[in-house]
Amino acid sequence: MANITRLDSADADFAAKLDALLERETDTGDDVQHLVADILADVKQRGNAALCEFTERFDGWACTAESIAISRERMHAAWEAVSDLDRQALELAVARIRAYHEHQIQQDWDFTDEAGLTLGQRVTPLDRVGLYVPGGKAAYPSSVLMNAVPAVVAGVSEIVMVVPTPGGEMNDLVLAAAYISGVQRGFAVGGAQAVAALAYGTETIPAVDKIVGPGNKFVAAAKRQVFGTCGIDMIAGPSEIVVVADGGHPAWLAADFLSQAEHDEAAQSIMISTDAHLLNQVAESIEAHLAVLPRAEIARASVEAHGALIHVHSLQEAADAVNIIAPEHLELALEDPEAMLPMIRHAGAIFLGHFVPEALGDYMAGPNHVLPTNRTARFSSPLGVYDFQKRSSVIRSTRAGVEAIGPAAAHLAHREGLQAHALTLELRLNDKS
């Protein structure tokens, strides 16, 4: 039986134990930060030469500026090479992701206030974005779709993809996903060196305005360090899931529990229930699944290091625990999930009922699967169209408008000791021509 942590909300030290459970590997270690800083500086200075040296060192193949380039023609060849079922699944996913994200498009707006000023907002897309597609322990065509489709919907002019290719092997399904989702250019590089290339540009890879997409701790650290040179979506850590259940099939719940654990040894799976007997049944089903899952070694390491089965004594206690955890994925596998939904304040994506496993959202439901992790759902949101658009304030005024509010503005400028600011207003206010 997998050795999974058990917690009970009735225990006096429950809060302390829950906090300890949520402490996981991050990108903040000095060793990671220093290594990443060196990689970033080297790629910034030496461009492709450094990029290919790091690719040979970390991905095990001797690349050149030419061999890392992935053209639209290469993506199209991959699209033709994959199976009919692959193409049908990708096309359906793209259609559903596009339909969902089209609801997020922001529009220009303005209004005229009582002083006569017309105030508004202009929404414009980013010019060029870089998509980081993870490709270490597994290939993720779904990540391509979730990053690229919202960018297309937002109207981004150029979408550039980087993807690690261990041993130089390119995954046709990833390239097919890039083709159907609208990626214009790709590069077979990953890790912190790929983030550096996107941020600073090299002789081959153009610098981008924003980098999006999840990666390992080195990628996360690199994104943190290049922020300011370009934008980033978020600092994404290892995957997480919380399953809240008051009943249901133990085998289903156990599979849902393991769905994130199989990603990475640092992933976290937590189940919360008012039914102690159900938790025991789920523990048995977890072991049964681990006996046959191909990635059982990774999943077992994850659940034994970071997983937990938590017994609570009311659904309010369950909601309180969820809001502390602020999980990336939250399944409310309840008979009446709608009753609990208003209690939830912090979660990246919420799945309601027994027939909506997290995997449906990963691939096909439509909402984005690039989600805040490591409790950052307390203050951040899923990737969306809004991440690929920016807003500009627009202000129009007549002489009457300046006369109505200019004196107060000039007064505040003087109070701040910024006389030139005040002068710009007073010259206009005193001009009688």
The mean pLDDT of 112-138, rounded to a whole number, is: 92
The mean pLDDT of 322-330, rounded to a whole number, is: 98
pTM over the 0.85 mark: yes
Measuring CA to CA, which residue among 31, 51, 30, 49 is closest to residue 40?
51
Lowest-pLDDT choice from 98-112, 130-144, 378-392? 130-144
* Domain spanning 30-232, CATH class: alpha beta
Calculate ∠ Cα 313-318-319, nearest 5°. 140
Identify the pLDDT of residue 76.
98
Domain ranges of the chain: 5-25+238-365, 30-232, 397-430
Q: Output 405-413 pairs: Cβ under 8 A, ≥24 positions apart.
A: 405/115, 405/117
Identify the pLDDT of residue 389.
97
pLDDT band for position 324 (50/70/90)?
Answer: very high
pLDDT band for position 7 (50/70/90)?
Answer: very high
Measuring CA to CA, which residue among 50, 67, 75 is closest to residue 194?
50
Q: Which runs of E-coded beta strand occur in 285-416?
A: 308-311, 329-333, 349-352, 389-396
How much of the chain, in percent, has pLDDT values that exceed 70? 98
Identify the pLDDT of residue 26.
58
What is d(CA 173, CA 141) in angstroms, rounded to the nearest whole number? 6
Token pair of 92, please? 């359906």
Identify the pLDDT of residue 28.
64
The mean pLDDT of 267-274, rounded to a whole number, is: 97
Select which of 101, 263, 306, 329 is catalytic. Answer: 329
Identify the pLDDT of residue 194.
98
Lowest-pLDDT choice from 2-16, 126-140, 256-270, 377-391? 126-140
Q: Is 414 a catalytic residue?
A: no
Identical fold for domains 5-25+238-365 and 30-232, yes or no, is yes
pLDDT band for position 136 (50/70/90)?
Answer: low
Q: Is 249 a catalytic residue?
A: no
Model confidence at 420: pLDDT above 70: yes
Identify the pLDDT of residue 224.
95
The mean pLDDT of 1-5, rounded to a whole number, is: 89
Model confidence at 417: pLDDT above 80: yes
Model confidence at 27: pLDDT above 60: no
Which neighbouring-strand residues pair with 333? 245
391 φ, ψ to 5°? Answer: -120, 140
Select which of 328, 331, 354, 369 is catalytic. Answer: 328
Model confidence at 102: pLDDT above 90: yes
Distance of CA 373 to the CA centre of its chain: 8
Q: Which DSSP letter does residue 13 get?
A: T
The mean pLDDT of 128-132, rounded to a whole number, is: 98
- Is 292 buried (19+), middle (13-18) or exposed (0-12) by CB count in 10 A? exposed
What is d(CA 123, CA 229) in angstroms, rounded to the nearest whole number? 22
Identify the pLDDT of residue 262.
94
Model confidence at 34: pLDDT above 70: yes
Identify the pLDDT of residue 364.
96
| Mean per-residue pLDDT of the chain | 95
Identify the pLDDT of residue 6.
98
397 φ, ψ to 5°? Answer: -150, 150
The mean pLDDT of 162-185, rounded to a whole number, is: 95
Q: Which residues contact 166 (CB under 8 A, 6 or more apart)?
A: 59, 60, 61, 135, 136
Identify the pLDDT of residue 135.
79
> What CATH number matches the domain at 5-25+238-365, 3.40.50.620, 3.40.50.880, 3.40.50.40, 3.40.50.1980?
3.40.50.1980
pLDDT band for position 65 (50/70/90)?
Answer: confident
